[in-house]
Amino acid sequence: MDARNTPRWGLLLLPFLALGCEGIAWPPPAAHQDTAPAQAQEPPQVVDGAATPSDADGSTGIDGAIAKYIKRMEGAIGHGGRRPAAPPPGADGARYVADLEFPPASQPSVPGPAHDEPQPAPPKAAPSAEAPTDAPATPSAPLTPPVLTDVAIHAAPGFEVTRPEPGAAEINTALRARSAPTSLREFLDQVPPPEQASFREQLDLCVLRVIAGQYEQARAPLSLVTAEQQELASRFVEALIAIREGHMGDLSAAASAAAQELAKLQESLRRLSDLNVPVLKICSAVRSYGQYDVIDPPRFVAGGGEFVLYCELRDFVSEKRADDYYYTKFDLTTTLLTRSGDSVLEVKDTDITDRCRNLRHDCFIPRLVRLPATLSPGPYVAKITVVDKLGQKVAESCAPFQIVARP
């Protein structure tokens, strides 16, 4: 640019500086005139002093504005990560120098007005000799499609699983319709035989058969049970049958028959029960079952003495033998213990046998205990251990007493 063009540039810049960008319609240069429609852009704002010439020929002012524009673009790209659009066609470089405000990277940019037809991209301006060329954009890595690794299936609320209906249609298959049972007997006839049922389930079925009057089927032996359970179930079924048939004929005879069956049932329960010692007393004399004189309080003078232990037994096992007698056998061990649990006396009685024509439900055993003269004053305990040899059961019981000093 020579000195002849200086007055021309001064006349051109004078209205620009006086009125600003809004009042001047800058004529587009002939080099940028084309038929492509210009894209809608925000109105630019003129930076103060951006186009003011600083030398005589005016070249430094325009070049400085362009350099400042390039520097602002580089700063905006560094901070916001977005590059502004190229100047629209028909706009001069000095005219497009504007104070653009770039939105932050976290905020979406405001889209431009929609067009019915795709707009051609504006031509890129030739890079200035002083401005560096932009580096090629790095292509973004392709997104990896999601991979399904695990699937959990849950039934929807209220969802009912449909099962195949029994008696579905099949080819060449016999089929019979069952009517609803009208009585307990019909219901029991339709019940399939139990397979590996428990003792309780089999006993329940026997009770139902007794109620239905099917006595022979109720008396059938159970499967996979012990001998004691089989005997208990049989006695229970016979007692139910006797009670159920008690309303027919003579009521007294029916009651007696039911009592006999209940006695047999009780005997079966006694075999399964533990040996019981309901009464153990320190007495001065024992006359018979339930007839004894209790020493109260049980105190004895040191240096000797004696008392009788009265022991009642229940739930033992008796065995009927060929001579029609019921036999019962016990082993009895009597022990005297101190407060600390030390034994001071032990007496054993083996093979205590009872022989009776009738079946006993309870009995008693008396045992005379002589106190050692060496016992010192203090509290003691008389302990008995009874073994039912036929029923293989054991029971224990204790009775306290006291030794006092001689006055």
d(CA 356, CA 318): 10
**Cis peptide bond prior to 127, omega within 30° of 0:** no
Q: How far is CA 378 from CA 298, 307, 407, in A?
A: 12, 17, 15
d(CA 131, CA 119): 28
Is residue 335 scored above 90 in pLDDT? yes
Is residue 24 scored above 50 in pLDDT? no
Is residue 289 scored above 90 in pLDDT? yes
Compute φ and ψ for 348, nearest 5 degrees. Answer: -115, 135
Q: What is the dihedral of CA 315, 320, 323, 324, to 10 degrees?
A: 80
pLDDT at 385: 96
Is residue 365 scored above 90 in pLDDT? yes
pLDDT tens, position by position, 216-265: 989 999 888 888 889 889 999 998 988 888 766 677 777 888 888 888 88
d(CA 346, CA 324): 36
Is residue 283 scored above 70 in pLDDT? yes
pLDDT at 2: 52
CB 42 within 8 A of CB 109: no
Where along the chain do its domains lie?
1-30+41-102, 184-272, 280-404
Q: How far is CA 380 from CA 24, 160, 187, 285, 345, in A?
A: 129, 72, 65, 20, 11
Q: Which residue has the tokens 């007692």?
A: 239
Q: Among 55-59, 146-150, 353-357, name the one with the lowest average pLDDT.
A: 55-59
- Would you place residue 336 in the very low, low, confident or very high pLDDT band (cuts 50, 70, 90)? very high
> What is the average per-residue pLDDT within 271-291?
92
- Would you place residue 73 in the very low, low, confident or very high pLDDT band (cuts 50, 70, 90)? confident
Q: Which residue has the higher pLDDT, 89 or 362?
A: 362
- The verdict on pTM exceeding 0.85 is no
pLDDT tens, position by position, 99-132: 444 445 444 444 444 444 455 555 555 544 444 4
Q: Which residue has the higher pLDDT, 318 or 70?
A: 318
State which amino acid sits at residue 280: L
- DSSP string computed for 320-366: E-TTS-EEEEEEEEEEEEETTS-EEEEEEEEEEEEEESSPPSEEEEE
CA 207 to chain centre: 38
Highest mean pLDDT of the ranges 24-38, 243-257, 347-361: 347-361
Is residue 393 scored above 80 in pLDDT? yes
Q: Which residue has the higher pLDDT, 14 or 400?
A: 400
Give the mean pLDDT of the chain: 75
DSSP state letter for 13:
H
d(CA 336, CA 118): 116
pLDDT at 294: 95
pLDDT tens, position by position, 178-219: 667 677 887 887 777 767 788 888 899 999 999 998 899 899
Is residue 342 scored above 80 in pLDDT? yes
- Would you place residue 371 in the very low, low, confident or very high pLDDT band (cuts 50, 70, 90)? very high
Tokens of 173: 């298959």
Highest mean pLDDT of the ranges 6-10, 81-85, 159-163: 159-163
- Would you place residue 155 in the very low, low, confident or very high pLDDT band (cuts 50, 70, 90)? low
SS3 (DSSP) at 309:
strand
In percent, the amount of the chain with pLDDT more than 70 equals 62
Is residue 42 scored above 60 in pLDDT? no
Is residue 344 scored above 50 in pLDDT? yes
> What is the average per-residue pLDDT within 24-41?
48
pLDDT at 85: 52
For the domain bounded by 280-404, which CATH number is listed?
2.60.40.3880
d(CA 239, CA 258): 6
